Every structure is written in structure tokens, then in C-alpha cells.
Amino acid sequence: MISVVIPTHNRADLLERAVKSVKEQTIRDLEIIVISDGSTDDTDLVVNKMMEQDDRIHFITYKTPQGANTARNKGIEAASHDYIAFLDDDDEWLPTKLEKQLNVFQSNKDIGLVYTGSNLIYVHEETAYDNIPSESGDLAHKILFKNSIGTTSTVMVKKEILEKSGYFDTELAALQDYDLWIRVSQLTQIGVVEEPCINYYNYTGKKQISQQTSKYISAIEYIENKHRELFSTLSEKETKVRKSNFYMLLANKAMRNNSKKEAVRFSVKAFSLKPAVKGSAFIVLSLFKYKTVLKFRKKLKA
């Protein structure tokens, strides 16, 4: 019933945890497609060993790295089931994730994508808090303001929808999930599981794409050009809100990199477009270390 797509690159030590979380799902009718994007560590050995233990695991491997977008696309192409669920190699699912998503799909035939909440775990900062989403239904307009769906690891989508929307854009080095969710949201209703169903791990200092502010700036410009026609439907006020949200995203990434000057600059730009308490709080927080920022967020969630 479900094809699980797991792209990986030189993370053999983390990959086993991700695959284990799929094998422990309450839904058993699935296939696990692991795509090694030019890994040079022990990934091949680790996956071959797992395949001997579980015939639901399939392996695609190639020597020259082509990026996570290409790897995910190869997984989608190889998928043989109606539903596709994505899992990054450094994340893990809670046991009932797929079951709860299927229940949402079955509750409304017009839903083509279902996402879930997540536990956000900052490993080096030793901080964690949950993210509980609520946006659902027709998100064709709302998705233009920010990525309310979130990371790929929370998403299950009908393959027929991906055939219509197109797959991941291989030109994007960041925000590739947001770009795809914009396209998908123009085609179908969106469902949500309003509770954490994944553990999303953040490894500050491990060169995750989410740390590299410059790639986000380029990605935002690329997406603005790509979806220019959609963004042009927004009013002047809505456009300011959208741009403010993007600047807050950049401010957050700069905070994570401990780039205080950049964080302040982006926070001020966000506030100037949309004066609000949250924007002013971002300006203040940008002066502190990221660990302090996370502690503040955790208190707000408590």
C-alpha cells in the first residue's frame, strides 16, 4: 500500500535508526526504498545486511552524488504503491505515523497529501520541543505565505498527485520541500495529523543544508521567480506578510549559524514589513546564542 523513500549520503550510522523506525510501523504493507546518493562510507554494507533480514527493503545506489532531490525522485520512480512517504536518513518515525495518516486519507477521498506534527530535537544544544500543526483543507492560497506543511519526513502523498505536480526540483539546494508543497497544494486538499509522529533531529555544526543561509537566500529568489504567477495574485498587504515571513526564516537560519549581524539585519527587515510582537522578539533574540533562543522557544511551548 505504501512506498517509503529514504535518500541517504554517508550516514550509515544514522540510516539504521531511520529504517528501524519504518520496520516498527503498525502498518506492515509497505516497501522501503533506500537510495544511496554516492555514499563512500559503509552504507552499501549496512543496507545489504538489512535486505537479508527484510525483503521489503529495496536498494538503489550509484557512485556520483547528485543531491537529495535526485535521490528522492529516483525513489518515487521506483515506487510501486499508491502512497509515497518520505523519510530523511537522520530522522525517525513514531510507530503509528503511517496508520494515522492512512486514517486521514480514508476519511476524505479529496485529500492527496497528509502531514504530521514533529518532535524537534536539537542534539548539540540538548533541547527539544514539539511542533503541532493545524492547517488543512484548501491550502492553495495559504501555502504562498510560508511552508506550513514542513519537512519531507512528515509527509505522505498519493503518487498520482506527484505525477501531476512534478517531482522535486533538482535545481534547488534548499526549500525543495516547500517548492513541491506549493505545486501539490494547487491540485488537492491537504490533511493533517495534529500530533508529533516523527523525531526530527537537528545536528548543528554538521553542515546540514538548513544551516547555510546563503543557500536559503538563493532558494527563496528561485521560488519567487518560479511561482511568480501565483505570487502575483497576492495583494500588496499579503505580499508584505509573505516577504516578512521569508526574512524571519532567514533570521532563524542566521541565528542557528550564530551569525548575529545577519540575524539582526533579517529580523529588522521582517519587522519593518510586518510590525508585530513576534518580529520585535526576533530582533531581541538575534542578539543571543542559538541555545538561548531554543530555550526561550521551549518555554513558550510549555
* Any domain includes 141: yes
208: pLDDT confidence band, cut at 50, 70 and 90?
A: very low
Q: What's the mean pLDDT in 160-166?
A: 98
Query: Do 296 and 159 share a domain, yes or no?
Result: no
Query: Do 176 and 264 share a domain, yes or no?
Result: no
Q: Which residues pair with 129 in a beta bridge?
A: 120
Query: Do 178 and 239 share a domain, yes or no?
Result: no
Query: Do 19 and 74 share a domain, yes or no?
Result: yes
210: pLDDT confidence band, cut at 50, 70 and 90?
A: very low
Whether the pTM exceeds 0.85: the reply is yes
How much is the mean pLDDT over the chain? 92
Model pLDDT, residue 209: 43
Query: Do 106 and 245 share a domain, yes or no?
Result: no
Question: Which domain covers residue 169, as residue numbers?
Answer: 2-202
**Radius of gyration over every alpha carbon of the chain, rounded to an integer in angstroms:** 19
Query: Do 7 and 135 share a domain, yes or no?
Result: yes
The last residue of one of the domains, among 158, 183, 202, is 202
pLDDT in tens, 267-300: 899 999 988 766 677 677 777 777 787 877 777 6
The last residue of one of the domains, among 182, 202, 222, is 202
Indicate if the pLDDT at residue 206 is higher than 50: no
**Number of domains within the chain:** 2
Query: Do 46 and 132 share a domain, yes or no?
Result: yes
Query: Do 71 and 162 share a domain, yes or no?
Result: yes
Query: Do 23 and 143 share a domain, yes or no?
Result: yes
* Any domain includes 180: yes
Q: Which CATH number belongs to the domain containing residue 65 in this structure?
A: 3.90.550.10
Q: Which of 167, 176, 166, 189 is nearest to 113 (CA)?
A: 189
Q: Which of 200, 275, 202, 204 is nearest to 237 (CA)?
A: 275
pLDDT in tens, 77-130: 999 999 999 999 999 999 999 999 999 999 999 999 999 999 999 988 888 999
Model pLDDT, residue 283: 75
Residues 6+ apart with CB under 8 A from 72: 5, 7, 35, 86, 152, 167, 168
* Any domain includes 197: yes
Residues 6+ apart with CB under 8 A from 11: 39, 41, 43, 89, 90
For residues 19 and 89, what is the distance between their CA atoms, to the nearest angstrom? 8
* Any domain includes 213: no
* Any domain includes 210: no
